[in-house]
Structure 1
């Protein structure tokens, strides 16, 4: 199973906030962090050790307008998906929310299945964007920059295009084994001149870069028939 995606819920209604957190985390697909005000949300987002893949943001917060907070986050360069939650769903309200930088807009009362579907849709789009960031073991992986960053040691590791492609595809496989031929096809495309030896060479070089002990891989694991990524390895 893929690593749970961290979501920040910014909502002053404690009962709704708890319900959303419970529903989001029920299947292990997401991790939920809660904030009841704009100030608390900003504090959590400003924590250098925290990362959120998406934000559920109420418009009516006790210390401000959620749309103003969204606009401020965009100005600060925070580009994760933001889905606004509001009791007002008039056209002007929706336009105001989207103009502030929100990716989507859902009126209350919230349909949890619809909300989950929209969160997943926004994350799929985000994962293909230049802003996408993934957690793999102790690393933060930025595919668009071809970079793996290890915050604990403040170490940056540059990757080649093929190494980036391998990591990205294995991450999307959600911990499932990817056959060698499939990985070759996905990363190199159809090319009869490319063999599994080419893939094995790139896997070897990638392990030299990211594995604490390349001789005993913990992250990029060889399995029967292929490879898988263990994103929760320490």
Structure 2
């Protein structure tokens, strides 16, 4: 996994597509990919090995209505957030967009910071839903079920609430190291009674569960005064 979250932008306006792609790429938080038609977007979303965390979808596309594409994607089982972008902002237009399965409906012209805030909100909501699924090494990680599953070895690993929270926060750090105190505060809150020793104990137990060799960690690494998750480790061998 790269540091950035992959986002598909579906819009037939080249200038807007270019601007959105540039702005979303600025701080490395997102990795945008563009599509100019409904057919192109559908092919990219259904392609083997494709992965997008969210879709920004224009209503007016040269080969169809974005709302119809949204409904079709939902019927096909796509669960990730879809945010509609449109110049039609009447009440009936908004209702049609949301009824098609969109998570949000943003009229043009829009302010970029508002779009980013609503995109982040949609992603946070999805990440905490029953539908969220992440890949960590050979495992499929389902935070809502507190479960790691290694289908290649027919292995299921149950996680505690804290173990699940640690993995989810490190995954969302995008491969960057997270300091012990930051991770402690995120998982346990600002509790003076909980020390870094508590975190280290949980990390030790988590490694016993997920690492092929807990004495030579490859997934959950100690780095930079904290910990870093390498979700790509171990996939080739799986």
Q: Which runs of 5+ in 2 are unaligned?
A: none
Give the TM-score of the pair, scaled to structure 2: 0.79
2: distance between equivalents of 1:89 and 1:99?
Answer: 14
Q: Which runs of 5+ in 1 are unaligned?
A: none
1:24 is aligned to 2:24: yes
Q: Do the aligned partners of residues 204 and 23 (structure 1) sit closer, same or farther apart at CA in structure 2, a change above 3 Å counting? A: same
Aligned to 1:43: 43
Q: Do the aligned partners of residues 146 and 189 (structure 1) sit closer, same or farther apart at CA in structure 2, a change above 3 Å counting? A: farther
Q: Do the aligned partners of residues 161 and 48 (structure 1) sit closer, same or farther apart at CA in structure 2, a change above 3 Å counting? A: farther
Q: Do the aligned partners of residues 12 and 52 (structure 1) sit closer, same or farther apart at CA in structure 2, a change above 3 Å counting? A: same
Please report how far the alpha carbon of residue 225 of structure 1 lies from its aligned counterpart in structure 2 after TM superposition: 6.1
2: distance between equivalents of 1:165 and 1:224?
Answer: 20
Cα distance per residue 1:194-231 (max 9 Å; x no partner): 99777655534432443354322233123576544344
List structure 1 runs of 4+ shifted beyond 6 angstroms. 187-190, 194-198
**Residues 140 and 149 in structure 2, CA contact (< 8 A), matched pair in contact too:** yes
Q: Do the aligned partners of residues 139 and 48 (structure 1) sit closer, same or farther apart at CA in structure 2, a change above 3 Å counting? A: farther
Aligned to 1:124: 124
Give the TM-score of the pair, scaled to structure 1: 0.80
2: distance between equivalents of 1:96 and 1:17?
Answer: 24
Structure 1, 213-222 or 121-130: larger mean CA deviation: 213-222
Root-mean-square deviation (CA, aligned residues, Å) is 3.2
Please report how far the alpha carbon of residue 134 of structure 1 lies from its aligned counterpart in structure 2 after TM superposition: 3.1
